[in-house]
Structure formats: structure tokens, C-alpha cells
Structure 1
Amino acid sequence: MLLWIIGFSILGSLGAIAGAALFLFFPDGIRKILLPCLISYATGTLLGAAFLGMIPSGLEQAPANLIMATVLAGMVLFFVLEKLVIWRHCHQADCEIHGRAAPLILIGDAFHNFVDGVVIAAAFLNSVPLGIATALAVIAHEVPQEVGDFAILLDSGYSRSRALLLNGLSSSTTLPGALIAYFWLGGTREAVPYILAVSAASFIYIAAADLIPALNRQVTLAASVRQFVLLLAGIGTIALFHLGA
């Protein structure tokens, strides 16, 4: 189980960085088309992982009222953390959050990736299919996020190599988060359903507060249909993991 957690934590951080770095080499026109597609798919994976995996798993192990209260408390927590610029996850290069100093962005991203590691570990400790589905959701939403990070760092005067290095360092916190969660939750398994509930809250919050509003800026029929299909594809991908469990 530890090897599963280590492997997918590394894949989650390195995969997102590699995907974002490759994305920046595409022409601007292609990036403008592909980024909303990535965000649509990521929205589906996050919502699917939360509602089809994490919350049902938590409800199987703890009282429903406590699990749902934990989800609600988690969403309020992430709202407060975002206001403190600790939990930032804007996927657009020109958003207000990205107007803050680049070091704050990197610090917030490091914290975000640390939490992603905790999320991955908690999911794998519950079941391998849930762990894989959760790691996939993490990768899916981290790629467009890292694209936004690269864009703002480059706009701030960083070279491509320095931006890549700094983003790589901020993404490296995923593994420590996963390892700490593995050894802590391994001795306190009673906490796993509540960690899953908080993890579900983080996924729902990112999808509802960031990704969906970004998608709603495109109002053409073709864009809306494309977003809807890719959102369903993201949900379907997560569902397949659970149907095969």
C-alpha cells in the first residue's frame, strides 16, 4: 500500500508539472482551446471523486450526520484559507489571486500540493480503486492549475527554467503530505472517513468556486456542449474505477 501511495503521489506532482510544461510549448491559439477542455474534464473528475468515491466511503464507516457536517465544515475552511491566500487554486493567468506576489503563489501551491498528498494517502488507505481515482482527479485539476502558475511566473520575469524549477519544488510537497498521512492514519484508522470527507470538500470547493465559474465565461453553444461532454467524461472516468472495484 505504501508503494501505491508513493508512486501515485510522485505521478500526481511530476505528471502535472510535465503536462503543464508541455502545454506551454503549444501555440497560443491551441492553448486557448485546450485549456477549457482540460478544466471541463478536471471538473468532472473532481465531482466524480467526491460524490461517487469519497463521500460514499466515508458514509460506510461513520455516521452520516458527522460525515456531512465534516464536508460542510471543510468547505467553510477552504473558503477561509483561500481568503488568507494559503489555499489558492486559480486556473486563469489573469485572475485577481494571480495578481498577488509570485512567492505567495508558490507558497500557496506548496500547501495545496501537501494537502493533495494527504488526500491521495487517505483514499488509498480506504481502497486501491478509490486511491487511483483520487490521484487521477488530482492530476487532472493540477495540470491547468500549473499552466496558470507557469503563466504568472513568466509574466513576473522568471525564465522558463526557473519557473519550472520553482513549480517543481512547490509540487514536491505532495509526497511528504502523503507519507505523513500514511503513517498518521495508519495508527488512527478511525480518522480516515473524516479525512475523506474533508478531501471531498476540497474537491467540491475547487470545482464549484473556481472551475465552473471559469467555464461559464464561455457562453457559445459549441463551447457549452463541449464542456458538458468533457465534464461527463471526467465523471465517467471516475465511475469506471468504482464499477470495477
Structure 2
Amino acid sequence: MLSSFWSALGASVSAALVTLVGIYTIRHFEDWGRKYSIYFVCFAAGVLISVSFLHIIPKAFEMNTNAPVYLLGGFALLHLFNRFITAFVCERGVNPNFGIGLVPMIGIGFHSFIDGFVYSITFSVSMFTGVLATAGMVLHEFPEGIITYLLLLRSGFSERKSFLLAFFAASITTPLGMLVSYPFISQTNTSLLGALLALSAGALVYVGATHLLPQADKEPREYTLHALGAGILVSVLIVLSK
């Protein structure tokens, strides 16, 4: 149990650091960040979707007979949350600080906080499951940091304030979510853990299929399909090597 705690904490801290690297990159190397962040998006989408279908979902089904219901629930809940954020942004559109910067920042912050829960859940199931989930999740933190910073900057905040707000919202919230959730998740039985794992899988599929891939479709560049395929291939090889 102690090893799963430190593994989950290490993964969440790694995610926070990758987010920080994304924020730092777009602030100091804006051209490079804008040019190559889409490849991280595509690779992360390939990993998240593949590991969900190849390992996390079958593992959840094995642990809980009602896992399909929770899988659908995880997907639907994240969709509804994103719809709520979108509607709230539109309602506040007259105020650029809310419509462009602060509200998306809150949404991303909550999403990153829930990411911390996913680390607690997957590493509580097994080290292998945790590592697979981490492989895709950590990579998608890089463009997320970039997006958060750019939205805040666009809404009128200074570079320094945008950097600090993006850091606290998109980076620090992940290990915080892990630390808050782990004491409760680590004490759950196998059936409940399977339900939580299915919820997490639904959320991961949602992020990969409806959040990351559409970004790639909006910005078709050479080799984006290669990056997506590389993410899928890496996932397949990891699962087969178990």
C-alpha cells in the first residue's frame, strides 16, 4: 500500500512538472510551443484511448460486474461537466476576464484535480495499471499547460499573472487531488475499486476521443497521424509485454 501511495504521488507530481514545462515553454519559446504541442496532443490521445480499451476497461469489468454502467457514467459525467463549463463561458462572454480566461482556468483546474483521483485509483488497483494510465495522462498535461496560459494571457492578464494562475490551476491541483483522494480510495474493497476504475476509464476515453482528437482534426499537420499511431503502438507493445 505504501508503494502505491508513493507511485501515485510521483506520477501526479510528474504530471504537475510536465504542465509547468508546457507553461514555461509557451512563455519563453512561443513559436516552438505553438508548432509542436499538437503532436503531444495526438500521441497522448493514442495512448489514453488504447490503454483504456486494452487494459483499464477489461480490468474494471473483471473487478465489478456493473462496470459497464460506471464506464458510461464516467464518460457522461465528464461530458456534462464540459457542457456546463461551455455554457457558463458563453453566458459570461461579455466579460473577457471570465469568458476567455478565468472560467476555462477553473474548468481546467477542476479537471486536473480529478486527474489526481485517477492516479490514486489506478495505482491502488495495480502498479501496471497506474503506469499505463500515467503514460497518456502525463503527456496531455503539456498542451494543457500551454492552453491555460494562452487563455489567461488573451483575457488581459500580464505574463507573470498568467504564469502563476496557470501554474496553480493546471499544475498544483493534480498532486493535491491525489493527496486528498488517496486515503479514501486506498481503503475501498475490490468491487468499489472496480467501479471507480470504470469511472476513470470513461473519463479517460472522453478526454482522448472528444477533447484531444478534435484538436488534432482542427489543426491537421504533417505527421499528426503518425504521432497518433505511435501512441497506439506504444500502448499495444506495453500491454503485450505484461
Q: Which has the higher helix share?
A: 2
* 1:111 alignment partner AA: F
- Match for residue 14 of structure 2? 11
Are residue 73 (structure 1) and residue 73 (structure 2) matched? yes
Contact 2:75 2:206 in 1 (8 A): yes
- Match for residue 64 of structure 2? 62
Q: Helix, strand or coil: the match of 1:187?
A: coil
The alpha carbon displacement at 1:131 in A equals 0.9
Give the TM-score of the pair, scaled to structure 1.
Answer: 0.84
Q: Helix, strand or coil: the match of 1:80?
A: helix
- Match for residue 160 of structure 1? 159
- Match for residue 177 of structure 1? 177
- Match for residue 119 of structure 1? 118
Between 210-219 and 49-58, the greater mean CA deviation after superposition: 210-219
Deviation digits for residues 96-130 of structure 1 (CA, Å, limit 9, x no counterpart): xx982422222212211111000011111111122
Deviation digits for residues 22-75 of structure 1 (CA, Å, limit 9, x no counterpart): 2443353x4443122111111112112311221021022122xx2122111222
Contact 2:113 2:177 in 1 (8 A): yes
* Identity among equivalent pairs (%): 26
Contact 1:49 1:200 in 2 (8 A): no
Unpaired runs of 5+ in structure 2?
Answer: 89-96
CA separation of 1:202 and 1:87: change in aligned 2, threshold 3 A: farther
Contact 2:22 2:144 in 1 (8 A): no
- Match for residue 196 of structure 2? 195
Q: Helix, strand or coil: the match of 2:196?
A: helix
Give the TM-score of the pair, scaled to structure 2.
Answer: 0.85
The CA distance in 2 between the partners of 1:87 and 1:135, in whole Å, is 30
Q: Helix, strand or coil: the match of 2:115?
A: helix
Are residue 238 (structure 1) and residue 235 (structure 2) matched? yes
Deviation digits for residues 9-34 of structure 1 (CA, Å, limit 9, x no counterpart): 11111222213322443353x44431
* 2:20 alignment partner AA: I
Are residue 138 (structure 1) and residue 137 (structure 2) matched? yes
Q: Helix, strand or coil: the match of 2:157?
A: coil
- Match for residue 83 of structure 1? 83
- Match for residue 36 of structure 1? 38
CA separation of 1:186 and 1:204: change in aligned 2, threshold 3 A: same
Contact 2:23 2:163 in 1 (8 A): no
Between 7-16 and 100-109, the greater mean CA deviation after superposition: 100-109
The CA distance in 2 between the partners of 1:102 and 1:19, in whole Å, is 17
- Match for residue 51 of structure 1? 53
The CA distance in 2 between the partners of 1:42 and 1:152, in whole Å, is 21
The CA distance in 1 between the partners of 2:80 and 2:216, in whole Å, is 23
* 1:76 alignment partner AA: A
CA separation of 1:166 and 1:32: change in aligned 2, threshold 3 A: closer
CA separation of 1:162 and 1:99: change in aligned 2, threshold 3 A: closer
